[in-house]
Chain A
Amino acid sequence: MKTTWIKKFSKTAREVKLTARDKRAMLNAILGPKNIPSPYGFFLTVMEYRTRIAVAAFTFMLIITSGGTSYAASAALPGDALYPIKTNINEGLQTLVAVTPDAKVKVEVQHTKNRLAEAEILSKKGKLTEETQAIIETKITEHTESIKAGIAELTSEQATTTVKEVIADLKSTLDEHAAVLSDLASSSSSATTTVEASSTLAVEARIATMAAPVEQTEQDKHIDALITKVNEVKSTIEDIEKAIDDSAQAQAQAQVTATSTAEVDNVIINTWTSSSSESQVISPNASSSQPSSTSTVEVGSPKIQGL
């Protein structure tokens, strides 16, 4: 009897509690607002402000570098918002992937082609402004520098084969593009010209149309600037070609000379413990592999022109 009423008493009394709101308000008052564990789940509780920013930045980078954005960027032109993505991320990635010197050269050649294609599209659209032209020109200069650097890295043997192909390809591309560009320029004037394969002829044709009084539009100026640039690059490439040819020639020379020397100094060479048969006709510009041998062969070896 006694116990039942008191049990009820206890039970009822225990109903008295703090409301959830009161509890949080009190916690807030004691610890400060940032310290209250969020009721919205473990996830938010664990993350701190700084971590949240890091996650947002990471997601942003993920979106940028994921296929979608860079795929869309591949069609970007100078002046577009996505153009930096194309140049830095898409092409940047290609450059990174190119490890060997000849791969690097190929990549840079491709990029140069891209620049020229962009220039053409822009001028067709009538959007080749001073800024965009400057961008393209700067980029082409960069690419040319990289090409030169890449070629310098190559050994002479590689230079002779791979790069020669690549350079020939670039040269013809330059010719084509120069032709297209001048064609675009002259199409805005009333005169038309036939497109020639050689760039020199294209330039001459351009000059020919200039003879007739023609209004040169703003765009034409930019096109001209780019054509000049293209010709610059072409001559640089030709110089490189020449240098390669010369050194190849000189190599061949050295081989011939070395052979005759070797025959004379037969005994000396035979006692020499070199590995490959090729080393017997050592070309003096082989990388510093057998320094001890130079004394034997150096006699009468011609100097090789560097690139």
Chain B
Amino acid sequence: MTSEKAQKAEFLTLYEKHADELFRYCYFKTSNREQSLEIVQEVFMKAWITITKETVMENPRAFLYAATRNAITDWYRKKKVVSLDDLHDVGFDAPVEHSGHHTDRVEVERILEKTSKLEEKYREVIILRFVNDLSVTEIAELLKETENNISVRLHRALEKLRKLYIKK
């Protein structure tokens, strides 16, 4: 029986480690800062419950990512497809931490814009690989696909994005 203190410590470690990257993931997928905050909170709440219920998490990171993906999917279903028009209306609210450099912010917004033009499955692997630095193996596990499929998809996705990105 782990003490409450130990549980809290475990949770805090998890939080410190993964909060940012999960937020990043959400943000690039939803383009919505508020929503991203909500989702991340929801996910960590689940994690906390899991810890207090003393259910062992084999791979916490995978758990967190899976939970985040599900939450995003749910949100999508409610929200319907995010059109480009919507993006223009809402405006990009790029939450760059130390945005001393103006171009950084602009860059991020640009990435958002370009990636949102991709098809969902390509977008997914691009974000997971190049925004969140997950390995091909990890992505494969997460998406329940073979590594090979992921590898191929990634390659194609990158091609498409490059065209979009370089094109300005």
- Would you call B121 an interface residue if the criterion is a C-beta within 8 Å of the partner chain's C-beta atoms? no
| Subset of 27 A-B contacts with CB under 8 Å | A5-B165, A9-B165, A10-B130, A13-B108, A13-B131, A14-B24, A15-B96, A15-B97, A15-B98, A15-B108, A16-B28, A16-B94, A17-B24, A17-B96, A18-B19, A18-B20, A18-B23, A19-B97, A26-B19, A27-B15, A29-B41, A30-B44, A30-B48, A31-B11, A31-B48, A35-B8, A37-B12
Per-position binary interface string of chain A over residues 207-244, scored 1 when its CB falls under 8 Å from any chain B CB and 0 otherwise: 00000000000000000000000000000000000000
Residues of B contacting A27 in the complex (Cβ-Cβ under 8 angstroms) = 12, 15
A8 to B28 alpha-carbon distance, docked (Å): 16
Residues of A participating in the B interface, judged by any CB pair closer than 8 Å: 2, 5-6, 8-10, 12-19, 22-23, 26-27, 29-31, 35, 37
Interface membership of B133, Cβ < 8 A: yes
What chain B residues lie within 8 Å of A26 (beta carbons)?
19, 37, 40-41, 44
The answer on a CB contact under 8 Å between A6 and B41 is: no
Q: Say whether B111 contacts A9, CB under 8 Å.
A: yes
Question: B40 to chain A: which residues have CB within 8 Å?
Answer: 18, 26
Interface of A is mostly: helix
**Contact B41–A13 (Cβ < 8 Å):** no
Cα distance A110–B144 in the bound complex, in angstroms: 91
Q: Can you list, as one digit per residue, whether each of B30-57 has a CB less than 8 Å from chain A (1) or not (0)?
A: 0000000100110011001000000000
Report if B166 contacts A (CB, 8 A). Answer: yes
CB distance from B21 to the nearest CB of A (A): 9
Nearest-Cβ distance from residue B112 to partner chain A, whole angstroms: 9
Q: Are A6 and B28 in contact (CB under 8 A)?
A: no
CA distance A8 to B106 in the complex (A): 13
Closest chain B CB from A16 CB (angstroms): 5
Which of B11, B28, B108, B162 meets A2, CB within 8 Å?
B162
Contact of B158 with A6 in the complex, beta carbons under 8 Å: yes
User: Chain B residues with Cβ under 8 A from A5's Cβ?
Assistant: 162, 165-166
Rounded to whole angstroms, the CA-CA distance of A155 and B32 in the bound complex is 93
* Residues of chain B lying within 8 A (CB to CB) of residue A22: 37
Contacts of B8 on A, CB cut-off 8 Å? Answer: 31, 35
Evaluate contact between A16 and B130: CB separation under 8 angstroms.
no
Query: Do the beta carbons of B158 and A16 come within 8 Å of each other?
Result: no
Q: How far is B123's CA from A228's CA once the two chains are assembled, in angstroms?
A: 104
B102 shortest CB reach to chain A, Å: 12
With contact pairs A17-B97, A18-B19, A30-B45 given, residues A12 and B12 touching in the complex (Cβ less than 8 Å): no
- Which residue of the partner chain, among B95, B111, B158, contacts A17 with CB atoms under 8 Å? B95
When chains A and B are docked, how far (Å) is the Cα of A2 from the Cα of B154? 14
Is B74 close to A, CB under 8 A?
A: no
- A13 x B130 contact (CB < 8 A): yes
Known: A17-B20, A27-B15. A6 touches B44 (CB 8 A): no
The residue of chain B having its C-beta at the shortest distance from the C-beta of A16 within the complex is B24
B107 at interface (Cβ–Cβ under 8 A)? yes
